[in-house]
Structure 1
Amino acid sequence: MKALVFAAGKGERMRQLTDATPKPLLPVRGKRLVEWHLEKLAALGVDEVVINTSWLAGAFPPALGDGSRWGLRLHFSYEGPEPLETGGGMLHALPLLGDAPFLAVNGDIWSDYDFARLPREPAGEAHLVLVDNPEHHPEGDFALLPDGQVQAAGERRLTFSGIGVYRPSLFEGWRSTIGAAAGVELDPPRFRLAPLLRAAMRAGRVTGEHFRGEWTDVGTPERLAALG
């Protein structure tokens, strides 16, 4: 199984910390944020990890090397000077990820979630890990139904954790799903993943789970400091 780590963001809400260091390379509890993910991916048996990069992309290879210290092979998917958003970034990385389902995780989260809980293959196009809504995101993202289906709307919405398993087929016909959104005309295209997920949800092709353990979206210096 392969994995994708989203690490291309500019970390604008964390300046000055991210003026010289990409957010996934900031230290948390004695390790860089991304290193927590790499350790867990290696323990799961993942052998190849794609890290998408843009902002301060040159900082990643010296910090992480080729991945051999974790028993991994790292590939860097450079998106150019401007990040391609989650959808564009995942599409850009697909040639490195191959045709099989893959795990994807945001490089700027910290969690004690055990990746071994994830299905190796989602029942549909994607399987998402959802968490309780944090104070900074009280409205949530998606609704988890009792049968494990995930829908865009529902009585109680939870927050997407940034952890999931996806099939490359999620991107079939992506242009018609995304429409004329700004950035689609670029080469490579820039767009968010959420519209593709919502389309798959309408077709009953997204499952999920509710994780109640530790999880932090490290989006501000205060949240970073709170992790200790």
Structure 2
Amino acid sequence: MLLAAGRGERMRPLTDSTPKPLLPVRGKALMQWHLEALSRAGVGRVVVNTAWLGLQISMQFKDHFSLQPTSSGPEQLSNRSELSILYSHEGEDFGGALETAGGVARALPLLCPPTGAGADVFWVLASDVYVPDFVFSAAAVARFVASDKLAHLWLVPNPAHHLCGDFGLEETGGIAQALNLPAPDPRPRYTFSSIGLYRRALFEPPWCPIACGNPLGVKAPLGPLLRAAMDNGLVSAELYAGAWTDVGTPERLQALNLNLPSTQP
């Protein structure tokens, strides 16, 4: 699932007329970087939630996405797949975005087919982060499916605009656990990259009170669900050291397009 429903307030005035996932980063719509990586990984279906200017997103990408040949030659075909794109139009259905947990609960019927191995497991990531080298590994999915965890998160070193971080990380019996650290705890915290693997159970009772499909359009953030699961030892994590940018301001977008390191808030 690609999260693409936000208003992008900090990116204004650019997002007054263009949804943030469609802003150009190094020659491509920001969201296209993710679609290409998912296609290379052999993923066959992606759900995109929309709200602010969401029609622009569905008009640009329509109901499928295919990798295009590059100027240096055709893409490697070993893992290539055509992505089927489904949309969860929160703006049309409820007048605005439902936040992450509310949006995932709304999309559960699209995300989880009724049968098939691993049918209750899916990726979720924000479409407004730039992470060009991340690999949506089938091996990572297999490890997660074989575990007892409700979520597996990729954390990154804290950027300048978020030095306090989000979650701790601790090796326990060969498995790295994500930690919900209390405020006075001195252990280091890392920033959540927005990329994670999830079981649908995290978005169902007792962890999430929202009915499957979120028919009432309940708005709910993801953080409280993750922290509750962490307190029960049910969230694993790993540190990602590759290039990663939260494209949250015009300054960070400009730095990316000028190939400069982002030092702006």
TM-score (norm 1): 0.91
Q: Is the 8 A contact 2:3 2:49 kept in 1?
A: yes
**CA offsets 1:138-181 (integer angstroms, 9 cap, x no match):** 11000011230111115010000010100001122257779xxx
CA distance in 2, matches of 1:203, 1:79: 31
Corresponding residue for residue 182 of structure 1: none
Q: Is the 8 A contact 2:7 2:19 kept in 1?
A: yes
Equivalent position to 1:28, from 25, 30, 51: 25
Corresponding residue for residue 200 of structure 2: 168
Partner SS for 1:18: helix
Q: Is the 8 A contact 1:142 1:157 kept in 2?
A: yes
Corresponding residue for residue 69 of structure 1: 66
Aligned length, in residue pairs: 219
| Structural mapping, 1:74-153, within 5 Å | 74-80=85-91, 81-98=95-112, 99-111=119-131, 112-116=133-137, 119-121=140-142, 122=144, 123=147, 124-147=149-172, 148-153=176-181
Contiguous gaps of at least 5 residues in structure 2: 68-81, 113-118, 258-265
CA distance in 2, matches of 1:38, 1:89: 19
CA distance in 2, matches of 1:175, 1:213: 32
CA distance in 2, matches of 1:95, 1:102: 12
What's the CA shift for 1:67?
Answer: 1.6
Equivalent position to 2:252, from 189, 200, 223: 223
What's the CA shift for 1:66?
Answer: 1.6
Corresponding residue for residue 71 of structure 2: none
Assess, with a 3 A threshold, how the Cα gap between structure 1 residues 106 and 176 changes in structure 2: closer, same or farther: closer
Structure with higher Rg: it is 2
Assess, with a 3 A threshold, how the Cα gap between structure 1 residues 68 and 186 changes in structure 2: closer, same or farther: closer
Give 4+ residue runs of structure 1 displaced > 6 Å after superposition. 175-178
CA distance in 2, matches of 1:34, 1:209: 23
Assess, with a 3 A threshold, how the Cα gap between structure 1 residues 108 and 174 changes in structure 2: closer, same or farther: farther
Corresponding residue for residue 208 of structure 1: 237
Aligned residue type for 1:61: S
What's the CA shift for 1:118?
Answer: 6.5
CA distance in 2, matches of 1:125, 1:93: 17
Aligned residue type for 1:74: I
Aligned residue type for 1:115: F
CA distance in 1, matches of 2:39, 2:58: 18
What's the CA shift for 1:23?
Answer: 0.3
Partner SS for 1:146: strand
Assess, with a 3 A threshold, how the Cα gap between structure 1 residues 206 and 175 changes in structure 2: closer, same or farther: closer
Aligned residue type for 1:78: H
Q: Which moved more, 1:117-126 or 1:156-165?
A: 117-126
CA RMSD between the two structures: 1.9
What's the CA shift for 1:51?
Answer: 0.3
- Identical amino acids, percent of aligned pairs: 48
